[in-house]
Each structure stands twice: as C-alpha cells, then as structure tokens.
Structure 1
Amino acid sequence: MKRYLYLWHRWLGIAVCLFMAMWFFSGMVMLYVGYPKLTPREHLAHLPALPLTDCCAAPLQAGASWPDGLTLSSIAGQPVYLLPRPDQAPVVLDARSAQPLGPVDARQALAAAAQFAPAASAELQALIDEDAWTHSRGLDAHRPLYRIALHDAERRLIYVSSQTGAVVRDASGTERVWNWVGTWIHWLYPLRGNALQPIWSDTVIWLSLIATLMALLGMVLGVLRWRRRPYRNGSHSPYSGWARWHHVTGLVAGALLVGWIFSGLMSMNPWGIFSQRAALDVAAFSGAPAAPQTGTQSLLRQFQANGWRPVELQWRQVAGRYWVTARSADGEQRVLDAHNGQPVAQLPVELLHGAIAAMAPARQVQFDWLSEYDFYYYPRAEHSMLGHLPKPLPVLRARFDDGRWVEVDPATGALLSQSTPARRVSRVLFALLHSWDWLPLLQRRPLWDIWMVGFSLGGLLISISGAVLGWRRLRRRDRRRGRLARSGRAAGQRVYTG
C-alpha cells in the first residue's frame, strides 16, 4: 500500500508541481498588486462637480416613482441621470432635458477619456469585447468596450462602456506589468476570452483538486519518512540535496500548502456547493414605489449651501421613502431626506428595522449593531479582490432565524451584503485559508505580510524542489529506456550475425 502512495504522490507531483510553483509565485505578487479595476474612490476622483445652474430636469414624469439607485453623475463632462436596470447597463438620460442619449460612438468615448484625464492626450486603440484586463463578469453589461491609451505618466489604459459612455475600468502600466506574473497566470487567464473559455472553470477546479490530493499524500509520506532516531546519514530525514529540502520544508509548511491549494479550489465554488438559496426580497426593503417631493435643483442647492461641491447624487428608497446620498471628489458623503430636503446623520432605526423585517415577513429577525469589525465584516486593502467594497461603521446586521443575514449601512440605507450559512462556510474555507483574512493578523501588519510571504516562499520551495525531483525522475526513466533499447538492439545484432 505504501508503495502506491509513493507512486501516486510522485506522478501527481510531476503533473502539477510547476502549476503549484506558478500559483505560489503569482500569489505573492497578488498580495500587493491586484487585477485592474476602477474603484469607487477612483471613479469619484475623476468626476467634475455637478453644476448648480442649468441643471437638472426631473428624470421622469411628475408623480412617477423613481427607480431605487437612480444616480446623477457626469459622463464626458456633461451631467446625466443613470437609471439602473437588472443585469443590464443603466439607461442614460441627459440631466438637462431628461431625454435618452443616443448610441455611444468613438467621439463620445474620447470625450469620456478627456473628463477622466483632462491633462493627458488620448488614443483610441480599438472596440473590443474582452482582453487581458477586462475578464471580469461585472463588465458584461457594458460590452463591447472602447479601449483608449492615455499618454500620461502612469501609461494607463482605460475602457469606456459602449452602452453608457462612462469609463468603467482603468489599468496603469505598473498594474499591467505585474499582472502578467500575478493574477493573469494565477487564475489561468490565458484560457479566458477565447475558444478555451468553456473549459476554464473546470480546468482550474480539477488542477486544484489534483494538487490538493498530491499535497495531502506528500504530508502523509513526509511524516512516515521522518524518524525520531536519526538515519545512518545522521539526519532525521533519509534524503539529501533537493529531496531533503522537499521533505523538511513539506513538514514545516505542508499543512499551509494543503490549506492554500484546497482554499483555491473553494474559491471556484466547485459544482455550486456554496450557491445561495433564494435571496431576501430586496423590493420589500425598498417599499412601495413613490416619487421624491424635493426636486434635484433644490437638493443641489442644499448640498452646496456651504460651498461643498458634490460630484454625484444617488437616490435610495427605504420603506417607501427616498434618501439622497451626495459624494464629493474626495469621497466625503452627506445624506438628505428627499421628501423634505433635511440633512440626516442616520436613517431612523424603526424605519430600518421595518424595512429589513419586510424582506422575510414570515421569519423572526435579530438586530445587532456593529461598532467595530468582526470575523464576517471587515475591510481589505483596496487592490485585493473585494477590497473596493465599502465597509462603513457602524453597521446594522440582521440575522433571520433561517440562517440568512443582511447588513445595512444606517447612514445611507444601502444594503451592503447578504449571506447564508453556506456563504459563511465559504468565508472560512476560502477567505480565511487562502488570504488569511483574520483580524489579529490584518490589523497587525506587517505581521500579516511576514506570515503570508514567509509561508508562500515555503510553498514555492516545496513546489520547485518537487518539480526538480520529478524532472530528474523522468530523465532517469528516459535514460533507462535508452539503455534497454540499446541492449535489445545489440543482443538482436549478435544473434543475427552469429
């Protein structure tokens, strides 16, 4: 039986050790440089202040209900309303006339680039469906995309939605260079956006599964081969050279290696094991459709009364009432009641409780106020996978008796997240084991960096030494076959000539 364990470990290692070395190296790059994205902070920083004069008409007819999430922003330097639609790009209305804007052409895409970076010259490269920096499914509603090169110090590429004309992604030269050896190879993106797209997910899943099995076998064999009493060579390991490095490092960092490879598998939600049940009723949280009583022009005057200049307004409906969140270019936000134009520091608690309870009226709900981060609610660095998502404090968490949770920002009424027991298990098996999202580490950097980089180097050494041993094994196998073939030919020749 032990012999078969060795054989399985050896040949699985020969198959995937190079992939594992690639994953550990690229993972270390990803600790500090993430896949390109346009973060909310970057989005706001490139918007002009909303004009106080000659703006803005009501986006819909008098008395009509306004869609939840309606936004007043700017595209190509002009104020526009963005009317959200599920699974589609928002409808764009001219904010001055409330008329829909026409199709987006190359000229408008360049105008959007001029708003984004007015000091840089812009070059339209192509209209593309997908490229190396736009694999994110969140961009699907905006495809095809205008790719524009900015001739600035950062050598940025920006991508403009052909549906709305807004900039939806930027990728600096530094991000692109590091991503070739970071996210792009870590997630096997060479298989994305081409004829190999249908096999991408299954390839990542099965490679991760094979690597997990191989690492587990290695842990078992490593323990079996370690002796308390030294071998004849004076070491507790029977090996030397690369084999000893592989054995000893595997014993030290092997458990984390198994955890990292397995959690990488979990990140793919293999076979839908973390798929959520029916989501909570978001429409019930919003309440019956209504129309705000205060016009946009009055709201802008209210926000700008003390010289404060918002760049974006967003209407959010909670329990049948509209609340308007205004944000400035530096990310500062203020909230007004859209029905009376009065500023609020926080939405009424009773209103929030009622809106949340309406999402699942047949269920009991427990409310908790979080004034500090915990295991399930915490911020990450902006470049990380979900680091761009806002994590304000305090936050209201509601726990339904069927295990579903919802978290709401009481300052704006925004639904920040929903989760199920399965998704919280995923938080442990992926976020905790893969990136060590554990507050005692995250809040004590560089302790987190030392932990992640140190053990990543251990995993890299295990993988590289395994690849070297596998290469040597294959070379010995080829040489042995060559000797046997030569012996066979020589024996045949002697018989023939004799």
Structure 2
Amino acid sequence: MWTVSQAKRCVFLIHRWTGVAACVLMALWLVSGVVMLFVGYPKLLPAERLAALAPLHLPPCCVPVEAALQRSPAPRAVQQITLTTIAGQPSYRLVQADGSLRVVNAITGMAAPAVDEAAALRSAQAFMPGAAGAVRAQVMDDRWTHSGLLDPHRPLFQVQMQDEARTLLYVSSATGEVVMDAPRQQRYWNFVGAWLHWLYMFRDGSRDTVWSWLVIGLSAMGTLSAVAGALVGVWRWRFAGRYKCGARTPYREFQMRWHHITGLLFGGVLVLWVFSGLASMNPLGVFSAGQRPDLPAYRGGAPGTARVAISANDALALLRAHGFVPTELHWRVLGGQPYLLAHDAAAATRIIALDKAGRSAAAPYRVLERFGLQDLHAPASVLLPSPVAHTLALQQHDAYYLRRGAASMYAGAERDLPVLRLQFNDPGRTLVYISPATGDVVLSVDKAQRAGRWLFNLLHSWDLPWMLREPILRKAVLVAMSCGAIALALTGTVLGYRRVMKWAVRRGERSASGERVLGRVSRLRRWCGARDFEP
C-alpha cells in the first residue's frame, strides 16, 4: 500500500511529465481564447442574411404556393416553405421530409436549374451589390465550414469578392443562396483564434469522431496536469514559516519561482477552464437530453398539408398596408392552425393568422406583432408526455436563455424577449422556451443539459446574464485572468523544454557511454579471436 510520500511523489511525476506537453497546449488555448473574445468563428448571422435580401415586391411576385409545391416529388411531405430572394429572384425554398432542399422560381413557377459557377457568382454579387467577384473553387468542407448546419448545402462554392474586406462567400449548391461569409481579417485572426482553439487543423468534416476524441483526450490530460500542479503548488508553499532562502516558495530559479507563484494565483482558473473545455465536448454523451420535445406534435401539421388560404400576393399586400416591408415569408403551423411568419430587413417579425374573432368576413386574416401567450399554452402542453408544472412569461433573460455577442459561437441563436418559459414535470424537469414573435420552440434544456451549461458555458465563458450586461468589464476581467494563466503556461513551457533537453542529454550520454563499452567488448572479442588459446 502506498504511503503519503509515495502518493505525493506520483502526483509530482504526473505534473512534471504531462506538463511538458500540456503547458504548450494550454498556452495556445489561452492565447486563442483571448482572440475569440473579440473575433468569432466565421458564420452568417440571421440578421446579416436578412439585411442582404431584397424586399419582396408586387409585382413581379408571385405564383401561388400550390404551384411551387407541384415541383416537389412529394408535395404533402414538404416540411418547410419559405418565400425569399435568391440571386435577385423571388423564390420558394422547400424542405422535404428527408431534409433535402428544392428551389422554385416564384415568378415562373418553374424548378430552379442546378446551381453552377455562374449562378453562384450571381448570388454572391446580389448579396454584395457593387462588388466584383470570382468563383475560387467548389468544396465539400474546409477550415471555415465545419458547421453541421451547412450539411444540406454541400458542396459549397467559394466566391472571392473584391470588396474592401476581401470577403470570401460560400454559396449553397442546393439552393444558390449565400450561406456564409468570411472577411479576410476574420479569417486571419481565426488562425490564432477559434481555428487554433478548437484544433480544427485535425478536423475532417462536420462530424469527425477521431477529432472529438482527440480533443477529449488532450483536455483530460490538461485537466489532470493542472490539478496535479495545483496540488503540488499548495504542498510546496509555506503558509506558516519560510524556507532557508527566506521565501515561502522553495524555488530560487526565476522560471521555477514564478511558475509556482502564478500557479497559486491562477492555477484554479486554469483548472476550471481546461475542465470546462473537456465538458464542452460532452464526453460519452453525459450532458445529452434524456427526452426531447415533440415538435411535430406541437405543430400539429406541416405546410405541405396545412396552409393559410391567403395567397402570397395578398399576404405581401396586407403586410405593406400595415407598414411592414417583408423580405421573407414562412408558411408555418402551430397547434394545427396554419399561419404566415414574415421577416423584414431589420429582422423584425410579423404574423399573419386567421382572425378567430371573425370581425370581418371580407378580411379574415389579421397582422400580429406576436402571438398571445394563451395561443401558445395549448400547443405547448403536448411537447412532452408529462404535465406542465410551471409557466412564466420572461421579460428578461435568465441563466439559460441568453443573448450573446457577435463573436460568440452562439451568436446565431435568436433570443428575443418576451419569451414563454414552461417547466415540465418530467424526470428531467425540462425547461422549454417559446418565442411569441415566431411561435418557435427556441430552446429546451433538461437536468443533464443544465449541468452541461454550468460546467461548460459558465466556467468557460463567464456568461451569467449580469455578466453579459457588462461586456467591457467582463472581457477586461477575462483578459486579465488569461494573461496570468498564460504566464503560468509559458513558464511551464520553458521548464518543460529544459526537462526534455536535460533528459535528451542524459540519454545521449548513456548512449555514448554504452557505445564506448560495446566498442571495447568488440575489440576484446576480435583480439581473443585472433589468438589460439589452449585449454
């Protein structure tokens, strides 16, 4: 059985030898993490996409949506219908039951031709009017397009624009839409930012199990090394009394001394950051949802079979009569009742729904800014088999429903207010958030997911609502702590380098010594073999 001194010796050795590699990795993670506070991984935010769309005008729009559905191989199985603008042309975008995409010209009612380089260039130039461009390549995946949200659009056309920002646009080969933009400055910063932080140089495609386990393994090693280092640092610090050198640390050499001191000051932060990075990978699915909301039951139908009776042209005219200039129309169903959801260039929304009060037979549809909360309760009750335990209309963000900054990996998640929050009485005590502005279930989290939120998002990003409301102070604190942790990692890197070089020299000396011995033995054998010894 191990003694206390043997156990401590083991911890010392774990920190010494795992730290050789872990300190370099942690230094890279910390530096890239600071960059990520200000520059995010390339993505096209919903607001950016809507701002680039032309308003839907009357005329030339639009053929009836039923005509567009006839271009689908399975019209009744269509799950989503959107009227938008693609390459300057009003178009219906249909999402089939298998997730595949189909585009129909909203002026002619004909299926859009296959997207080629010329179509991709037209779409890119419509997205950035006045800028010249050239198609660079067609790719299935590259360093900026690992997101799984892009899978239905692959392969992607790369279009290099000649604008001031030297933006690289990615155009869907399925629909011809611009699905991502990556300005040159953002791309360059990402080489020392998200691309480096997430070790994307080792990732292949949107789903890469080898990459996932590589990051999990390295994060686990880093966590082990950091915890061992924290223990060693505490053990070696004299809280009462001093060493013979007069200091509380036994180390006199500059690098060792400051590695010890910075470890005591910032080691805890480093442990939390590396461990939360491990938690972000959801190892073995420990933070996965036990039961997900039943969205088809919540909708109670699909646009392929349930649609509002108002035509697209009449809907556009009705919206304009209410002072709303739409850029997109979505055919939706909520609780079996169809409705239209409209977006404008500023990402504002309006809803066209049947006037249940029947105030006017000549105008059976009305324009709403949002659904009433009572309109959402009944459909929401079927999201999970368990009953609703608690309902609350949130007027401000809570610990799970948060709006992040543009650099965040969650920046694309719309978190508008007010929002309806329901807590179900299921084993996971699931929280479901529904947006009255769209009727969409925008977030659901059960116990396991909430644990992941605290162990990853909070410890890694410090993103409580009151922290996010003070972005400058939050970033200043994170940068200051990162600088301290970087000093810890860099001093450890120097010490690790010295340790490796010392080990290499000793190994070389042993090797040279061994070669001398072997040489002498060989010469002795040759000398003995040259003589005939008699017994």
Name the amino acid aligned to 1:299. Answer: A
- Do the aligned partners of 1:226 and 1:237 also contact (CA within 8 Å) in 2? yes
Distance change in 2, residues 1:273/1:147 (3 Å): same
1:322-363 C-alpha deviation (Å, 9 max, x unpaired) = 232222212232222157331123313332100000223543
Asked if 2 retains the 8 angstrom alpha-carbon contact of 1:293 and 1:338, the reply is no
- d(CA) in 1 for partners of 2:220 and 2:198? 15
State the distance in 2 between where 1:221 and 1:264 align. 22
Distance 1:352 1:437, change over 3 A: same
Q: Deviations for 1:107-145, whole angstroms, at most 9, x for unmatched residues? A: 111110121012100101111111111111111111101
CA contact (8 A) 1:316 1:414 kept: no
**Matched residue, 1:387:** 411
Q: Which amino acid aligns with 1:397?
A: R
CA contact (8 A) 1:30 1:182 kept: yes
1:360 aligns with 2:384: yes
Higher mean C-alpha displacement, 406-415 vs 214-223: 406-415
Q: What is the CA–CA distance in structure 1 between the aligned matches of 2:77 and 2:438, rounded to whole Å? A: 17
Residue identity in the other structure for 1:256: V
**What does 1:325-336 correspond to in 2, within 5 Å?**
325-336=341-352
Q: Corresponding residue for 1:374?
A: 398
Q: Which residue of structure 1 lines up, in the alignment, with residue 245 of structure 2?
A: 233
Taking the aligned partners of 2:282 and 2:187, their CA distance within structure 1 comes to 27
Q: Could you tell me which amino acid in structure 2 is paired with residue 57 of structure 1?
A: V
Contact 1:59 1:93 in 2 (8 A): no
Match of 2:273 among 260, 265, 270: 260
- Correspondence 1:74-153 to 2 at 5 A: 74-85=85-96, 88-153=99-164
Partner SS for 1:91: strand
- 1:432 maps to 458
The one-character-per-residue Cα deviations of 1:7-52 (angstroms, maximum 9, x if unpaired) are: 1111111122211111111111111111101110110111111111
Aligned to 1:301: 317
Question: % of aligned pairs identical?
Answer: 39
Determine helix, strand or coil for the equivalent of 2:321: coil
Tell me, in whole angstroms, the C-alpha distance in 1 between the residues paired with 2:34 and 2:94: 40
Task: Trace 1:439-454 onto structure 2 (pairs within 5 A).
Answer: 439-454=465-480
Contact 1:46 1:116 in 2 (8 A): yes
Q: CA RMSD in A?
A: 2.4
1:190 aligns with 2:214: no
Residue aligning to 2:446:
420
- Other structure's SS at 2:59 match: coil
**Paired residues, what number?**
498
Contact 1:87 1:141 survives alignment (8 Å): no
Q: Which amino acid aligns with 1:359?
A: L
CA distance in 2, matches of 1:432, 1:384: 13
CA distance in 1, matches of 2:232, 2:152: 50
- 1:20-59 aligned within 5 A: 20-59=26-65
SS at match of 1:60: helix
Question: Which residue of the other structure, out of 324, 331, 335, is the alignment partner of 2:340?
Answer: 324
Q: 3-state DSSP class of the match of 1:9?
A: helix
Shift of 1:485: 4.5
Letter in 2 for 1:120: A
Whether 2:258 is the aligned partner of 1:245: answer yes
CA distance in 2, matches of 1:421, 1:237: 43
In structure 1, what residue type is equivalent to 2:65?
A: P
TM-score (normalised: structure 2): 0.88
> Could you tell me how far apart the structure 1 residues matched to 2:322 and 2:371 are?
22
d(CA) in 1 for partners of 2:55 and 2:161? 23
Distance 1:56 1:489, change over 3 A: closer
Deviation of 1:440 after TM superposition, in Å, equals 2.6
Change (3 A) 1:485 1:308: closer
Structure 1: gaps (5+ residues): none
Specify the SS of the correspondent of 1:47: coil
* Larger deviation, residues 341-350 vs 367-376: 341-350
Could you tell me how far apart the structure 2 residues matched to 1:324 and 1:109 are? 29
- Asked if residue 459 in structure 1 is aligned to residue 459 in structure 2, the reply is no
Indicate conservation of the 8 Å contact 2:263/2:488, yes or no: yes
Code of the residue aligned with 1:170 in structure 2: it is: D
3-state SS of 1:315 partner: strand
Which of these two proteins has the greater Rg computed from alpha carbons?
Answer: 2
* Paired residue type of 1:56: C
Q: 2:10 aligns with which of 4, 10, 18?
A: 4
Greater shift, 92-101 or 471-480, is seen at: 92-101
Counterpart of 1:83 in structure 2: which amino acid? L
Task: Report the CA distance between 1:305 and its aligned residue.
Answer: 2.0
What secondary structure is seen at the aligned counterpart in 2 of 1:20?
helix
Distance 1:85 1:230 in 2: 73
Instruction: State the TM-score, normalized to the length of structure 1.
Output: 0.94
In the alignment, structure 1 residue 351 sits paired with structure 2 residue 375: yes
Q: Which moved more, 1:16-25 or 1:202-211?
A: 16-25
Aligned to 2:531: none
